[in-house]
Structure 1
Amino acid sequence: MSHLAAALFDIHAGQGLRQFAELAIALLLSSLIGLEREARQKSAGLRTHTLVGVGSALFMEVSIHGFGALLGTDGVALDPSRVAAQVVSGIGFIGGGLIFVRRDAVRGLTTAATIWLTCAIGMACGGGLPLLGIGATAAHFLIVRGFSVVSERITSGPSFDRVELHLTYQAQHGLLGRMLELCTGSGFRVVDVQVETGTDEARTAAEVLLRLEGSGSAHPLVEALTEMDGVRGVALGRHGDSTE
Structure 2
Amino acid sequence: MTGLAVPLWDVGNGQGLRQLSELGLALLLSSLIGWERAAQQKSAGLRTHTLVGIASALMMEVSQHGFTNVLGLDNVSFDPSRVAAQIVSGIGFIGGGLIFVRRDAVRGLTTAATIWLTCAVGMACGGGLPVLAGAVTALHFVVVRGFPLFTERLVPGSSASAFELRMTYRTGTALLPQLMETCTRRGFRILQVKVDRLPGRTDSAARVLLELEGTGDSAALTAELFENDGVIDVETAAPVDD
TM-score grouping bracket, smaller chain normalisation: 0.5 to 0.7
Query: Within 1, Cα distance between the matches of 2:23 and 2:74?
Result: 32
Q: What letter corresponds to residue 153 of structure 1 in structure 2?
A: R
Q: What letter corresponds to residue 32 of structure 2 in structure 1?
A: L
Tell me the residue number matched to 2:122. 122
Query: Within 1, Cα distance between the matches of 2:118 and 2:140?
Result: 9
Query: Within 1, Cα distance between the matches of 2:14 and 2:61?
Result: 12
Q: Which runs of 5+ in 1 are unaligned?
A: 158-244
SS in 2 for 1:101: strand
Query: Within 2, Cα distance between the matches of 1:144 and 1:42?
Result: 13
Query: Within 2, Cα distance between the matches of 1:151 and 1:44?
Result: 24
| 1:141-193 deviation line (CA, Å, top 9, x unaligned) | 00001111011222228xxxxxxxxxxxxxxxxxxxxxxxxxxxxxxxxxxxx
Note the C-alpha offset of 1:11: 3.9
Note the C-alpha offset of 1:94: 0.4
Q: After superposition, where does 1:12-161 map in structure 2 within 5 Å?
A: 12=15, 16-156=16-156
Tell me the residue number matched to 2:12. 9
SS in 1 for 2:106: strand
Q: What letter corresponds to residue 134 of structure 2 in structure 1?
A: I
| 1:111-162 deviation line (CA, Å, top 9, x unaligned) | 00000000000000000001100000000000001111011222228xxxxx
SS in 1 for 2:42: coil
Query: Within 2, Cα distance between the matches of 1:8 and 1:57?
Result: 17
Tell me the residue number matched to 1:199. none
> What TM-score does the superposition give when structure 1 sets the normalisation length?
0.60
Query: Within 2, Cα distance between the matches of 1:11 and 1:59?
Result: 20
Q: Which runs of 5+ in 2 are unaligned?
A: 1-6, 158-242
Query: Within 2, Cα distance between the matches of 1:51 and 1:74?
Result: 37
Q: What letter corresponds to residue 44 of structure 1 in structure 2?
A: A
Q: What letter corresponds to residue 50 of structure 1 in structure 2?
A: T
Note the C-alpha offset of 1:7: 2.1
Note the C-alpha offset of 1:25: 0.3
Note the C-alpha offset of 1:61: 0.2
Note the C-alpha offset of 1:10: 2.5
Q: After superposition, where does 1:204-223 map in structure 2 within 5 Å?
A: none
Query: Within 1, Cα distance between the matches of 2:96 and 2:78?
Result: 31
Tell me the residue number matched to 1:234. none
Note the C-alpha offset of 1:76: 0.5
How many aligned positions are there?
151
Tell me the residue number matched to 1:222. none
Note the C-alpha offset of 1:90: 0.3
Q: Once superposed, what is the RMSD of the aligned Cα atoms?
A: 1.8
